[in-house]
């Protein structure tokens, strides 16, 4: 069986498992109203309206009921009825009625039946319930009908199914690993941030988290110096006249926060591009000033629905490593190439080695001439080809103002995340009447390149925490070393070691709590602290330290100077390992 047909079989099996799930839930909870239950890339789910939320114990009973139904080997049989017949059959279910009423008049309605259970469905399914091999119910969550907060809240049960128990077991092991790497759990354990209902989906960064956040910004700034960017700061609040001019008022207002002040309407900025256009337009520009690269770490606010917010990876308040490049048409290629070089340098630094770009081409609704689009698309494709980045072209997915490249990275668990993007924009210069004087003294329109490398810094941090499991490289760790005295009499020497490290900028702390050394080591490992510096009588008497790595190894009889050199060398080289070899040779 080829890969495509095997995937098709798996999807049919998962779709069928969703029907069996719905069958058993309706049998156990007769007042249930069914919504929808599709197969997904990783499994399946079904949404239900029930009198009371499902519990974990319910999940176990439902799973047992599904096992029984599967063992009955009931055939899946397709039926076709008229729209009117379907409305009569499902008249007591408002969700099914809404789906049916959305069909054209006179349309035929497809249903599938196994045993006595019948559900609206286009199919396809496996032949019988017995063809559902290895399955598992995974979780319960709330979900709004059709994803709209104005609609009823439903109960969603997630599950998955595979062709063999070995495949299922491997998948469940992967899920468990993903849970241990969940950035929300890591962020809590490491004291990086928290989110409170007083500011929904807007993180409070604690001292450790703020240190990491600022180090990310500092790293990006170092690249900006290297690649010729100028950083700017722009207001948070603009009259909606600006958002009308930029087009956001007509096309993006539902994602913005709007408020009235002094009988005027204002919008909190969800993105920086109109503000950067204002900076460009603030004075007459010459070709000698191009390319103009404006970078902005300003705080942005977007009204994300509460049902889709998630930890740091989907928030309402965030900052981006955002920049806009104003250039002439003949500079597009070199600017795109320069940005991608910077992006690849950064991704390598953070351990992302598998990068998959997609090239999104012109949509039907667009601005600009076909000649300009031809050139822009060819420029982007040519740059990707020239640096050997295989890419997938996607028809019709470009922005209305220009084509774009999105960069997907694979993390340590093989999951893909979209981080960077580069977008060509021919519309913004028109809307803001942006010009520059060319070599002949004539007025020309610039092109705007929107680009982000890490993207939202909040989202990047969430992704990166899951990629490294919280074991940040030493240069990015909020606390690089914790100094642990074995007894109170060692605290004074520990303070001497702390000052010795701090003089070179090493971020270190003393754990002088009245607790056992092993408990302090365990706590430091939970915090993913790279180095534990142990001090006892021998170390104090010989002016030495013992270094214990968060990976479990240790090196004793190391001088303070050797320990400091180890940490400095590891930080300055931005290496991912902890320098075990260097330590052992000290």
Catalytic choice (362, 404, 467, 490) = 404
Catalytic choice (121, 273, 327, 468) = 273
Please say if 494 is a catalytic residue. no
Structure tokens at 453: 């490398």
Neighbours of 80 (CB within 10 A): 10
Q: Tell me how far apart the alpha carbons of residues 31 and 50 are, in angstroms, rounded to a whole number.
A: 7
Please say if 548 is a catalytic residue. no
CA 263 to chain centre: 39
Structure tokens at 481: 């070393």
**Which residue, 186, 230, 179, 235, is CA-closest to 212?**
186
Which single residue is written with the structure tokens 């931005």?
574
**Which residue, 293, 249, 240, 300, is CA-closest to 267?**
240
Please say if 327 is a catalytic residue. no
Neighbours of 71 (CB within 10 A): 10
**Which residue, 88, 117, 128, 84, is CA-closest to 103?**
84
Please say if 516 is a catalytic residue. no
Please say if 320 is a catalytic residue. yes
Helix (H, G, I), strand (E, B) or coil at 350: coil
Helix (H, G, I), strand (E, B) or coil at 277: helix
Under a CB-based contact definition with an 8 Å cutoff, are residues 418 and 386 in contact?
Answer: no
Please say if 560 is a catalytic residue. no
Helix (H, G, I), strand (E, B) or coil at 315: coil
**Which residue, 406, 299, 292, is CA-closest to 359?**
406
Q: Tell me how far apart the alpha carbons of residues 275 and 263 are, in angstroms, rounded to a whole number.
A: 22
Catalytic choice (155, 320, 423, 509) = 320
Q: Strands, DSSP E only, in 195-291? A: 204-205, 230-231, 237-239, 258-261, 264-268
Catalytic choice (302, 366, 459, 520) = 302
Which single residue is written with the structure tokens 């060819």?
378
Please say if 443 is a catalytic residue. no
Under a CB-based contact definition with an 8 Å cutoff, are residues 569 and 579 in contact?
Answer: yes
Structure tokens at 580: 């075990």
Cα torsion for 217, 219, 223, 224, to the nearest 10°? 20
Neighbours of 387 (CB within 10 A): 11
Please identify every residue annotated as catalytic: 273, 302, 320, 322, 324, 404, 450
């Amino acid at each position: 069986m080829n890969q495509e047909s095997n995937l098709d079989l798996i999807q049919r099996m998962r779709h069928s498992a969703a029907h069996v799930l719905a069958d058993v839930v309706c049998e156990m909870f007769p007042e249930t109203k069914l919504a929808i239950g599709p197969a997904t890339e990783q499994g399946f789910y079904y949404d239900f309206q029930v009198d009371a939320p499902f519990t974990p114990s319910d999940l176990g009973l439902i799973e047992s009921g599904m096992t029984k139904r599967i063992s009955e080997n009931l055939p899946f049989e397709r039926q076709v009825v008229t729209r009117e017949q379907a409305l009569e059959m499902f008249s007591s279910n408002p969700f099914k009625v809404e789906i049916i009423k959305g069909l054209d008049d006179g349309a035929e309605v497809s249903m599938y039946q196994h045993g006595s259970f019948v559900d609206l469905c286009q199919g396809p399914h496996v032949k019988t319930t017995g063809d559902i091999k290895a399955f598992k119910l995974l979780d319960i969550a709330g979900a709004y009908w059709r994803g709209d907060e104005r609609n009823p809240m439903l109960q969603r049960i997630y599950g998955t199914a595979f062709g063999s128990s070995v495949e299922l077991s491997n998948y469940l092991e992967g899920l468990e690993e993903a849970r241990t790497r969940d950035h929300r759990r890591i962020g809590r354990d490491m004291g990086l941030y928290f989110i409170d209902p007083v500011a929904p989906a807007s993180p409070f960064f604690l001292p450790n988290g703020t240190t990491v956040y600022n180090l990310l910004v500092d790293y990006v700034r170092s690249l900006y110096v290297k690649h010729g960017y100028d950083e700017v700061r722009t207001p948070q609040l603009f009259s909606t006249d600006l958002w009308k001019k930029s087009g956001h008022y007509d096309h993006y207002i539902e994602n913005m926060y709007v408020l009235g002040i002094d009988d005027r309407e204002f919008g909190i900025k969800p993105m920086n591009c109109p503000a950067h256009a204002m900076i460009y337009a603030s004075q007459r520009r010459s070709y000698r000033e191009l390319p103009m690269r404006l970078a902005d770490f300003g705080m942005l606010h977007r009204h994300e629905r509460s049902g889709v917010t998630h930890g740091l990876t989907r928030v309402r308040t965030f900052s981006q490593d955002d920049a806009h490049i104003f250039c002439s048409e003949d500079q597009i290629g070199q600017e795109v190439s320069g940005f991608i070089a910077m992006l690849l340098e950064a991704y390598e630094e953070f351990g992302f080695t598998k990068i998959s770009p997609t090239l999104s081409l012109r949509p039907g609704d667009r601005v600009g001439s076909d000649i300009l689009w031809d050139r822009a698309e060819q420029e982007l494709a040519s740059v990707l080809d020239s640096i050997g980045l295989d890419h997938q072209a996607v028809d019709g997915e470009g922005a209305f103002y220009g084509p774009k490249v999105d960069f997907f990275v694979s993390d340590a668990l093989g999951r893909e995340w979209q981080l960077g993007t580069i977008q060509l924009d021919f519309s913004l210069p028109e809307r803001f009447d942006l010009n520059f004087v060319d070599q002949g003294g004539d007025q020309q329109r610039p092109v705007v390149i929107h680009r982000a490398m890490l993207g939202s810094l909040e989202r990047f941090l969430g992704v990166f925490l899951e990629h490294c499991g919280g074991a940040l490289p030493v240069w990015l760790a909020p606390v690089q070393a914790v100094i642990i005295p074995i007894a109170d009499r060692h605290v004074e020497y520990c303070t001497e070691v702390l000052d010795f490290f701090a003089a070179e900028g090493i971020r270190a702390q003393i754990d002088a709590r009245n607790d056992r050394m092993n408990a302090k080591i365990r706590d430091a490992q939970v915090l993913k602290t790279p180095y534990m510096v142990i001090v006892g009588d021998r170390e104090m008497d010989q002016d030495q330290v013992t270094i214990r790595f968060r990976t479990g190894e240790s090196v004793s009889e190391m001088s303070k100077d050797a320990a400091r050199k180890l940490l400095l060398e590891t930080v300055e080289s931005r290496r991912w390992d902890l320098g075990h070899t260097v330590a052992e040779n000290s």
